[in-house]
Homo-oligomer: A and B are copies of this chain.
Amino acid sequence: MANVVVQNIERADRAATDRLASFGVATVHEAQGRTGLLGAHMRPIYAGAQISGAAVTVSLPPCDNWMIHVAVEQCQEGDILVVAPTSPSDAGYFGELLACSLSARGVRGLVIEGGCRDIAPLTKMGFPVWSSAISAQGTVKETLGSVNVPVVCAGTAIDPGDVIVADDDGVVVVPREHAVEMVEKAKAREAKEADTRKRLLAGELGLDIYGMRERLEARGLKYV
């Protein structure tokens, strides 16, 4: 299990994977029963990116980015790289050169529970990263880890091939086998929200739209 590179992973349905970006993190998270969200300390290095893709996962030792170099070769167009150190560290595991390499392969972004550097060039080239820190601190290339094994990233279990959705709200993972179903659920939710949005903007109250008044009264809410 340790120090392996799994070369052929099964990725989630491609059409579903690509479609999920459009719903955004909050809607997808709700659609799958409020599960799959990564910790709120995972923040985008610049505002405005909204992506989805298949997870290529990396488990690596703290302060050592060797396995990211190994992982690049396993990536293909439409993937998102997910990097999870086995122990937390703010070190800057990732920067512009690795982003160039990933870009050349069609990778859409990076999710890392660790530090990222070269923020200005990454922003300029439009390679989005969600990280737990920004730090120029270099890492070493001394100890092995694994590629495409199950990892825990920012408190959430991620399997290779799962769908990652990331935007300004954070990052959510959709298990590979649920991707297609989640598109349908997210669509339904979005449709319902579109209608609610219209009514709310027109001045109707959520209290009425959601029919909350009775239950509030039953619970004992008093207006004074």
Q: A residues engaging B (CB < 8 A)?
A: 2-7, 24-26, 29-30, 33-35, 37, 39-40, 43, 46-48, 50, 61-64, 66, 69-70, 72-73, 86-92, 95-98, 100-101, 103-105, 115, 117-120, 123, 133-138, 140-144, 150, 152, 154-157, 167-170, 172, 193, 196-197, 200-203, 205-207, 210, 212, 216, 219-224
Contacts and interface: CB of A to CB of B under 8 A. Distances in A.
A157 B168 contact: no
List the number of copies, as a whole number. Answer: 6
A149 to B, nearest CB: 10
B210 A138 contact: no
Contacts of A63: 61-64, 87, 89
A154 B172 CA distance: 18
A150 B62 CA distance: 25
Given A63-B89, A120-B48, A137 B29 contact: yes
